[in-house]
Amino acid sequence: MHARVEEIPVSRLRVSGFSVSLDGYGAGPTQSREDPLGRGGESLHEWLIPTHTFQSVHGGGTGATGLDDEYAARSMAGLGAWIMGRNMFGPHRGAWSDLSWKGWWGENPPYHTPVFVLTHHARAPIAMQGGTEFRFVTDGIHSALAQARAAAHGKDIRLGGGVSTIRQYLEAKLVDEVHLALSPVFLGSGEHLFAGLDLGQLGYHVTEHAASKAATHVVLTRRG
């Protein structure tokens, strides 16, 4: 009699709660340390900031419930790892000249899992409070995904951004689910999420949509 081996489910890679303007920009122009989302970029997140999910972590208040909070809560549920680009981790480029920089989020970032940061420049892992550990990946998006899957132990992996990182994973057909929050603003310029991407040809189709006063939430799922 053979012992039954329990299979660990394969982690899904998902984009969750990613805010986009009506003209398709996921960040404004002229991003900097003082303005990490670029000019006008903060307006993309006006649906998120008042929610209970956001305020309970960042704002110290109770926050609002309702549709936007339901999507915000879903975006943080069931995660075993994160992947992000270096542009999301910090404003620095090139070799790591400032090793004191440990991200935008203080000593206790909101991730509480391993976070795999795509970069061209090696750096030792950074262990933070609350279970977050930033691990720096220099050998590309497929390696980062493989490492994230090993760390997630069957839980989902959230692809945090920025825009360039999400585009790379979409083009490679590696993202299983995409939740976009379409904010009712125009940015005019910045980092465009959709330019040159044929999402239908890549296999993505709309499986869910709902609107609040602050955003229209659209969920895309990849066939196959």
How does pLDDT run across 33-47, given as a tens digit for each residue? 788 888 999 999 999
pLDDT of residue 61: 76
DSSP string, 122-170: ----EE-GGG-EEEEE-S-HHHHHHHHHHHHTTSEEEE---HHHHHHHH
Binned at pLDDT 50, 70 and 90, residue 116 comes out as very high
Q: Report the pLDDT averaged over residues 180-190.
A: 96
Average pLDDT, the chain: 93
Crossing angle between the packed helical segments 163-171 and 141-152, to the nearest 10 degrees:
90
Binned at pLDDT 50, 70 and 90, residue 17 comes out as very high
Binned at pLDDT 50, 70 and 90, residue 8 comes out as low
Distance from CA of residue 167 to its chain's centroid? 12
Q: For 72-87, what is each residue's pLDDT tens digit?
A: 999 999 999 999 999 8
Q: Report the pLDDT averaged over residues 16-44.
A: 91
Strands 216-222 and 204-211: antiparallel
Nearest to 50 by CA among 72, 26, 77: 72
Nearest to 137 by CA among 86, 173, 176: 86
What are the structural domains, with CATH classification, of the chain?
A: 45-77+176-224 (no CATH), 81-91+107-174 (3.40.430.10)
pTM of this structure: 0.92
6 has pLDDT over 70? no
